[in-house]
Structure 1
Amino acid sequence: MSFSAAVTPAVDPLSPPGLASTAALVQRAAHLAEGFAQRAAEVDQPGAFPVEAFDCLAAEGFLVAPLRRGLGGCGLGIDAPSTHDLLRLLQHIGRGNLAVGRVYEGHVNALQLIQTFGTAEQLERYGQAARDRHHLFGVWNAEDAEGLSIVPLGSGRYRLQGAKTFCSGAGYVNRPFVNGKLPDGTWQMAIVPMDQVSTQCDRDWWQPMGMRATASYKIDFTGVELGAGDLIGQPGDYLRQPWLTAGVVRFAAVQLGGAAAIFDLTRQYLQSLGRVDHPYQQERLGQMAIALETGQLWLRGAADQIVAYDAQFAGKRERSNPRQAQLLAYANMMRTAVEQICMDTMQLCQRSVGTRGLLPPAPLERVLRDLTLYLRQPAYDAAIAGVGAYVLAQTAPAHDLW
């Protein structure tokens, strides 16, 4: 489905911002997060999706913002200097509802991939879909052991065989990346026009403890036919660095938003019970405040690394860069540090509020479930090992590593 840009945002009475400023979008996201949080419980169930939130994001220009200015956006996350604003924006959306943050981050990821590896015709076509039709994009890359194959049929036609799992936004994402294996074993990116094909959606597959509202179903694409214009980039481009790994800073920003929500809710709970003078509660909230501020510094540091890497993070796929290894190591440091911040915040929250504060319909119960599941991202140990391998290969002193 397409999301309405004509909707009057139910969660925010203020007028939409211009797309000239990514900083303005950050301010809007901070405000919209309050409404997203108020309505998060309504979609915390199997089969639900935060449609109203995405109608609001469309109306406020968030779906088009990750496009280059020439395509009608404001270069959010494309122009490297906007990276910090992107991460702050993702944090705010995650603070409002982690499910919304997860799906929106996938939209940003997809538009970055298109603008990095797509042809001029594809940039215009998909840019128009996001700009004029308010289509939602995503990246559905996870799969079971059987995987998904892209079978050449000749004459520029291809047939998909297999399924994808964790298809966040299933039924609502219009143009997902559905990447698969070619006969020679290489990995090819492709975008499926969901409104033009027939697929099999297994809703029963998605029975999670948290992140229910992401509608992350299993979808069988067997029999779907695509044209050459639906394939993005060359075989193997999806696995190219730094885009594959450096993108982890985006989901880490959303996760940090979940930790911020837990901090706010914990403090509100203690204030409502008049427990703010208890020294142990003060100590726990102090630790949480330190952790969250540390997370803010990681957002800033990751953004600075991307700015130092290149003036434009997307769109220069043929250019090698001597700072690539440093950027990848820093991105992996940031994601692992944010995960620990989130885990520490959750534990301190649970100790602070006790059993009573964790009972539904208290919002803490839902946010803790959502964040617990969302933190389980792939290759955690490999990420840390990659950092170690990088620093062991360097001779610069610690103060000059980054």
Structure 2
Amino acid sequence: MELIPVSPPKPVTSPLSYLTDPERMDALIRAIADASPQTDDDGTFPEQVFAWLANAGLLSVTLPGHDLDQRLSNTAGLLQLLKRIGSGNLAVGRVYEGHINALNLVGLYATPAQKQTWFSDVSDHHRLFSVWNTQAQDGVRIRAIGSGRYVLEGAKTFCSGSGWIQRPLVTGELLGAGQTGWQMCIIPTERVKPIPQDASFWQPLGMRASVSYKLDFTGVEIGEEDLLGKPGDYFHQPHFSGGAIRFAAVQLGGAEALFDATRALLVSMNRTDDGAQKSRLAEIAYLIESGNQWIDAAGRKADDWLLRGSEAGRIVAYANMTRTAIEEICLRVMQHTERSVGARGLMRPLPFERIHRDLTFYLRQPAPDATIADIGQYVLTTETNAHALWH
């Protein structure tokens, strides 16, 4: 697929400029949105867009000393950034969120030497990270072969950014070396054997540009320095389930994109005086604003409760409520925008059709029923009144 050049955003002058300059950030999001139709394909990755994100300093924005330093109370700001990128392109937002997730896990569990290496991969070399955990029955095992070396066996599915992620964080069952359990490792892709890709696995309704193939890691050999944390660290709460607020923020960006596309179409059709359209757009506006309040509160509360050090269950429950609320908000926004634009708005090359497909697919996150059950379990077993549950 031949890519048509899109005007890039202006070069960054400091790592903070895009976050402190709304006009510059708006221009970046518009450029991402304008480039989106070119990569709406099962095998085309938005490389150009990630070069822009690197140039804007946004690949390294959560590293120590940067504007959204993950060691500090910056979660609400990070969620707003994820939402903005998702509003430009949900597939880009998905891959970017995976990059941020991987760096968060490095910050939590890596040794000082590993942090220096992996953070340098981002800040100095603009390498992309991701987290690949999903698998089927042929999942990954990490087998010790002696002398601090390990060989991988098995495959992962839904590997977003397949072929373009230089530092994938892969999980698997650790076997040997006196330890067992679910182990994280970060694979230096340029230093291992080629990793076969099954592109036929990826034939989705939407999110096509995330190129989430199935990858077979059998025969990939790594060293002790490539293992991240100890067996079981990946599932530690509240970081495992609490991270759901990040993908919820990206999803909310998709709802904002639908709002903007719907309003633009109504203006172009001179339908702004229609009473029914006014009512629908009003409801969409307050739904989206309620979503903003959810992610802002989730970010602030997560930071506050983490500082207290004993609020893991509370953080997970609130994160589960946030992802559930955002899903319902997005579904209602999609329904109202469909009715507003009608069949004409669902036709290509208008952006609505692609955004709608992407959001429909991205909303299908794992275990929604179990998530709601977990919220109920928390509130039923917490001996406090409704007001004090979250305050």
Alignment pair present for 1:160 and 2:148: no
Q: Are the aligned partners of 2:42 and 2:203 in contact in 1 as well (CA < 8 Å)?
A: yes
Match of 1:196 in 2: 191
Matches within 5 A, 1:137-148: 137-148=129-140
The 3-state SS of whatever aligns with 1:146 is: coil
Matches within 5 A, 1:204-243: 204-243=200-239
Deviation at 1:308, TM superposition (A): 0.9
Alignment pair present for 1:182 and 2:174: yes
Match of 2:67 in 1: 74
Q: Following the alignment from structure 1 to structure 2, what is the Cα–Cα distance between the partners of residues 334 and 99?
A: 21
Match of 1:91 in 2: 83
- Deviation digits for residues 207-263 of structure 1 (CA, Å, limit 9, x no counterpart): 111111111111101000110100000000000011101111111000000000000
Q: Are the aligned partners of 2:18 and 2:24 in contact in 1 as well (CA < 8 Å)?
A: no
Q: Are the aligned partners of 2:6 and 2:34 in contact in 1 as well (CA < 8 Å)?
A: no
Letter in 1 for 2:139: G
Match of 1:298 in 2: 294
Q: Following the alignment from structure 1 to structure 2, what is the Cα–Cα distance between the partners of residues 301 and 22?
A: 23
The 3-state SS of whatever aligns with 2:215 is: strand
Match of 1:396 in 2: 384
What TM-score does the superposition give when structure 1 sets the normalisation length?
0.91
Give ranges in structure 1 of 5+ residues lacking alignment.
Answer: 1-7, 312-319
Letter in 2 for 1:305: K
- Deviation digits for residues 321-357 of structure 1 (CA, Å, limit 9, x no counterpart): 2211111100000000001111111111111111111
Q: Are the aligned partners of 1:22 and 1:76 in contact in 2 as well (CA < 8 Å)?
A: no
The 3-state SS of whatever aligns with 1:274 is: coil
Q: Structure 1 residues 22 and 322, CA, compared in 2 at 3 Å: closer, same or farther? A: farther
Q: Which 4+ stretches in 1 moved above 6 angstroms?
A: none
**338-347 vs 271-280, which moves further:** 271-280
Alignment pair present for 1:173 and 2:160: no
CA RMSD in angstroms comes to 1.8
Match of 1:245 in 2: 241
Match of 2:107 in 1: 115
Deviation at 1:182, TM superposition (A): 1.8
**Which of 305, 318, 331 pairs up with 1:343?**
331
Match of 1:381 in 2: 369
Q: Following the alignment from structure 2 to structure 1, what is the Cα–Cα distance between the partners of residues 128 and 23?
A: 22
Letter in 2 for 1:105: E
Alignment pair present for 1:281 and 2:273: no
Match of 1:371 in 2: 359
- Deviation digits for residues 49-84 of structure 1 (CA, Å, limit 9, x no counterpart): 111110001111011112111xxx33444422x111
Letter in 2 for 1:379: A
**352-361 vs 223-232, which moves further:** 352-361
Q: Structure 1 residues 272 and 26, CA, compared in 2 at 3 Å: closer, same or farther? A: closer
Match of 2:47 in 1: 51
- Deviation digits for residues 187-226 of structure 1 (CA, Å, limit 9, x no counterpart): 0000111112221111121111111111111110100011
Q: Following the alignment from structure 2 to structure 1, what is the Cα–Cα distance between the partners of residues 157 and 130?
A: 13
**167-176 vs 28-37, which moves further:** 28-37
Give ranges in structure 2 of 5+ residues lacking alignment.
Answer: none
Letter in 1 for 2:9: D
The 3-state SS of whatever aligns with 2:91 is: helix
Alignment pair present for 1:39 and 2:35: yes
